[in-house]
Structure formats: structure tokens, C-alpha cells
């Protein structure tokens, strides 16, 4: 039987919560102050603390952090009143596993508590390996340390970083280290689908919901049940869909399109974006309440230009893995080639570096990869004193596309392969520069 301690100075509400949890098969006690909460926890026998972060005369955030330090295996859920979600988010960062906003149903609360106790998190240590993340630079060591701290929680995580920094790799690493590792990992790019299709992919639909809905279809939330759902490019989600996502996160249930009943889900959500979501909230492009819910924990990935000490290790790893995949001879990189790679700006980050090495492996004929085997990329110092005019990302991309196309003799299929994108995406970029519609007629040999 799960034992819950309710810490709330509203006695009527606290007793109502306890009565409701008891009727749902749990043991529940309540206390009205931080002092009595500490004394009760000293006696042991408590699995879950349900903490109101607005206790009179007490800093609820500090109390949450104190309880988490005293009993690392204790599951702490925080309650927050309407309009104070930011306080609940801060409590999660202090050590709580999750939060619920008032008012809530007892059924919802009981399900949240069961989710917390579904399985004990794995015991992680600094010795835990993260083979997904290469590099020994200080910034990457900080990323690994934070991943080890937050992997075993059930809180949602917002992963920030420029395109190509490895946000999905980090998401998969968090899933593998979590208590949900045996469950599914499901990923979707929110920018890749139009709004109607994105809604049906996420939530599913019932038979007859629209013309082609000939049978019920489960969405990705259902497919990720018991595991992790990764929402890439969450900043691109249409604003009209954001309330439905928020409800799914808060209620732990979804309603497929055209259905009349809710479907319970047990999913941890990891979201990623290259955008400044806080600025989007200020501009009205993104809902504040959804931002708070997704941003319970945040992990920011550094751009490659801020971890240049890792470039040699990354380049050698890519050279080995690409050669093994192509069943071709493994080649080391010359010192001159490594020095050249360290001088580059890498606006496309690790993804761009991999594409560069893939080109070099294909072009190399000798025992080593030399400077001449690298694609024609511009050199740029990122010291402020050495740069008088910073190009925009659009300008860098345009110049890079032109160089790649020149290198492959205008062959757009070959250029798309080197860039790591599909041919239609390349054609869309080229057409956008000319202000034209996409016309993709392959030349002979392409």
C-alpha cells in the first residue's frame, strides 16, 4: 500500500485529499506545517509527500529541496494554485518529481502518485556511461552530470540547442537512463507535419472522425504509453494545438479526434527546440502555461563552436563509424586536417561536422584524410577582435549550399546526400531563395 503524507495548511482540503486517497486504496496522513512534516518523516514509512508550495510562513521551494536532500528515495509531488505554476516548476527543479495544479480531481492525483511509484529509478552514479555523448570538454561534462541528475525523475524536460547539436541523442540518453527504459521511445518532429495530420498523429482518431477514418487509430501518445514521447521542434507546434497538448500533460489522458471518451496515458514528455520559447511566450506565439509545463527541467546543449576541444574526438569517431558502415578502410585524420576542422565556424554544429567527414571519407585515397579531402568550407575566427562583420545564419547557409553544389558539379541529389537532407528539402531551400515554387525535375543521371 502506498503511504502518502499530505503537507497543506488548508485543513479542509488536506483532509478531503486524504479521504479520497484512502478510498482509492492508499494510506494517507496530513500535517499542516513544515515542523510537523519533518517530525513525521523522521519516523519513516512514507513513500510520497504531497506538498503545497504555499505554506504560511514557509519557503515551499526551500522546504522541497530540504526534503529531497533528507530522503533521496522519497517521491515528492507539489501542489500549486491557479496562476502560480512558476512556483511549482521551481519546486520540481528543487527535487520534486512532478506537480499538480489546483483544482484537480482525486482520480488525477491518485494516478500521478501511482505513476511515481510505478518503479523505483535506477541508481545512477558518476561512473554511468553515456556513449551517445562524445567529448570531454567542460561544457559536455556539465551536460552529462545534469543528465544523470534528471534522468530518473518523471518531470518533463525541455532540451534547448541550435540545430545539429544532438537534441534527439540527448533525449534517447535520458530515456535509456530513466525508470522507463524498458518502455517505448517515440519521436515526432512537430515542424514536419501540417496541423491536421500532426493532431491525428499525436492523439489518434476514432472511426468515422473524418472521411478516410475507416477504423480507430491510436496516436503516438498511446504508442508511447509506459515510456517516453519526444516532441522535436516543439516551438513550431501550431498554437491551436497547444491547449490539447497542455491538457494531455496535466490530466494524463487524451481524447482521440472524434472520440467521446478520454484515454488514460502514462507518458513522460521530452521536448526540444532551437527557438527562444520564453521570447515566443512574450510575443504571444506560445502559451505560457504550456511553456511552464514543458520547462519543468531544462537542459541546454552547447554549439560546436563552444566545444572545439571535442572536434578531434568527434571527427575520428565519425571517420571510423562511416568507414565501418560502408565496409571501407578506416582512415585517421592528419594533424593538418584536424587543425583545419578546429578553425571552422560550424553553423550546422555536430551534424555539419559529420557530413563533412562523410565527404572526406569518400574523397580520401591515401591512408589518411588530408586537408584536400575536406569539402570547401569557410574559415572563420570566433574571437570578437578577429571578426568585423558577423554573417547571418541565412547567409552562412546560402554560402554553404553554393559551395556544396559547386563541388558536386550542380548534381542536386549528390548535394542533398552530402548535406544530410532529402532532395525535396534542398529544392525547397533553393526555390525559396529565388522566390519561386518548388519544381523538382531531376536531370539525367540524378
59 dihedral zone (left: phi>0; alpha: psi -120 to 50; beta): beta
Distance CA 348, CA 362 (A): 20
Angle between helices 60-70 and 85-94 (to 10 degrees): 20
Q: What is the CATH number of the domain that holds 388?
A: 1.10.8.60
Are 311 and 237 in a shared domain? no
311, 274 contact by CB (below 8 A): no
Residue 414 burial class via C-beta count within 10 angstroms: exposed 0-12, middle 13-18, buried 19 and up: middle
Q: What is the CATH number of the domain that holds 113?
A: 3.40.50.2300
Distance CA 247, CA 270 (A): 16
Q: How many domains does the chain have?
A: 3
Are 315 and 357 in a shared domain? yes
Are 291 and 310 in a shared domain? no
Q: Is 219 inside a domain boundary?
A: yes
Are 107 and 198 in a shared domain? no
Residue numbers of the chain with a pLDDT score lower than 70: 72, 81-86, 88, 117-131, 377-396, 433-446
Are 387 and 337 in a shared domain? yes
> Can you say whether the dihedral through the CA atoms of 167, 172, 178, 184 is positive or negative?
positive
Are 276 and 313 in a shared domain? no
Which of 302, 324, 341 delimits the end of a domain?
Answer: 302
Q: What is the CATH number of the domain that holds 268?
A: 3.40.50.300
Which of 302, 318, 349 delimits the end of a domain?
Answer: 302
Secondary structure of residue 67 in the 3-state scheme: helix
pTM, full prediction: 0.64
- Residue among 274, 276, 253 nearest 265 (CA): 253
Which of 302, 335, 363 delimits the end of a domain?
Answer: 302
Are 291 and 388 in a shared domain? no
Query: Which triple of cell numbers denotes residue 31?
Result: 500535517
Q: What is the pLDDT of residue 384?
A: 40
Q: What is the pLDDT of residue 189?
A: 93
Are 269 and 155 in a shared domain? yes
Q: Is 122 inside a domain boundary?
A: no
Are 296 and 314 in a shared domain? no
Q: Is 417 inside a domain boundary?
A: yes
Are 209 and 182 in a shared domain? yes
Q: Is 129 inside a domain boundary?
A: no
Are 297 and 405 in a shared domain? no
Distance CA 242, CA 8 (A): 31
Q: Is 131 inside a domain boundary?
A: no
Residue 246 burial class via C-beta count within 10 angstroms: exposed 0-12, middle 13-18, buried 19 and up: middle
Q: Is 189 inside a domain boundary?
A: yes
Domain range for 80 is 3-117
Q: Give per-residue pLDDT as tens, 141-167.
A: 888 888 888 887 888 999 999 989 999
279, 328 contact by CB (below 8 A): no
Q: Is 155 inside a domain boundary?
A: yes
Are 316 and 293 in a shared domain? no
Q: What is the pLDDT of residue 95?
A: 77
Q: Is 71 inside a domain boundary?
A: yes
Amino acid at each position: 500500500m502506498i503511504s502518502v503524507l499530505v503537507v497543506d495548511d488548508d485543513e479542509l482540503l488536506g483532509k478531503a485529499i486524504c479521504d479520497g486517497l484512502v478510498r482509492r486504496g492508499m494510506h494517507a496522513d496530513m500535517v499542516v506545517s513544515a515542523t510537523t512534516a519533518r517530525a513525521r518523516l523522521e519516523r519513516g514509512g512514507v513513500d510520497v509527500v504531497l506538498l503545497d508550495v504555499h505554506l504560511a510562513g514557509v519557503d515551499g521551494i526551500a522546504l522541497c529541496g530540504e526534503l529531497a536532500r533528507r530522503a533521496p528515495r522519497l517521491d515528492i509531488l507539489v501542489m500549486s494554485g491557479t496562476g502560480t505554476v512558476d512556483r511549482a516548476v521551481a519546486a520540481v527543479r528543487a527535487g520534486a518529481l512532478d506537480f499538480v495544479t489546483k483544482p484537480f480531481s482525486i482520480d488525477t492525483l491518485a494516478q500521478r502518485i501511482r505513476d511515481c511509484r510505478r518503479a523505483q529509478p535506477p541508481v545512477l552514479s558518476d561512473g554511468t556511461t553515456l556513449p551517445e555523448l562524445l567529448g570531454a570538454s567542460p561544457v559536455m561534462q556539465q551536460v552529462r552530470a545534469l543528465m544523470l541528475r534528471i534522468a530518473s525523475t518523471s518531470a518533463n524536460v525541455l532540451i534547448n540547442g541550435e540545430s545539429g547539436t544532438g537534441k534527439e541523442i540527448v533525449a534517447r540518453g535520458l530515456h535509456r537512463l530513466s525508470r522507463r527504459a524498458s518502455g517505448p521511445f517515440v519521436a515526432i518532429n512537430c515542424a514536419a507535419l501540417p496541423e491536421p495530420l500532426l493532431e491525428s498523429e499525436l492523439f489518434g482518431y476514432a472511426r468515422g472522425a473524418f472521411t478516410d477514418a475507416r477504423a480507430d487509430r491510436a496516436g503516438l501518445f498511446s504508442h508511447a504509453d509506459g515510456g517516453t514521447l519526444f516532441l522535436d521542434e516543439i516551438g513550431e507546434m501550431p498554437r491551436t494545438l497547444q491547449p490539447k497538448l497542455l491538457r494531455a500533460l496535466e490530466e494524463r489522458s487524451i481524447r482521440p479526434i472524434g472520440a467521446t471518451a478520454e484515454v488514460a496515458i502514462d507518458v513522460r514528455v521530452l521536448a526540444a527546440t532551437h527557438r527562444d520559447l520564453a521570447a515566443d511566450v512574450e510575443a504571444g506565439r506560445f502559451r505560457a502555461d504550456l511553456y511552464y509545463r514543458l520547462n519543468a527541467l531544462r537542459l541546454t546543449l552547447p554549439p560546436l563552436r563552444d566545444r572545439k576541444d571535442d572536434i578531434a574526438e568527434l571527427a575520428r569517431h565519425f571517420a571510423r563509424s562511416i568507414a565501418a558502415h560502408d565496409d571501407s578502410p578506416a582512415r585517421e585524420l592528419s594533424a593538418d586536417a584536424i587543425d583545419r576542422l578546429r578553425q571552422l565556424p560550424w553553423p550546422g554544429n555536430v551534424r555539419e561536422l559529420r557530413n563533412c567527414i562523410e565527404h572526406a571519407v569518400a574523397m580520401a585515397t591515401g591512408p589518411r584524410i588530408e586537408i584536400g579531402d575536406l569539402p570547401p568550407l569557410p574559415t572563420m575566427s570566433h574571437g570578437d577582435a578577429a571578426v568585423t562583420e558577423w554573417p547571418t545564419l541565412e547567409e552562412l547557409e546560402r554560402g554553404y549550399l553554393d559551395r556544396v553544389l559547386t563541388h558536386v558539379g550542380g548534381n542536386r541529389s549528390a548535394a542533398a546526400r552530402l548535406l544530410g537532407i532529402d532532395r525535396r528539402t534542398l529544392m525547397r531551400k533553393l526555390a525559396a531563395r529565388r522566390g519561386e515554387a518548388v519544381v523538382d525535375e531531376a536531370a539525367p543521371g540524378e
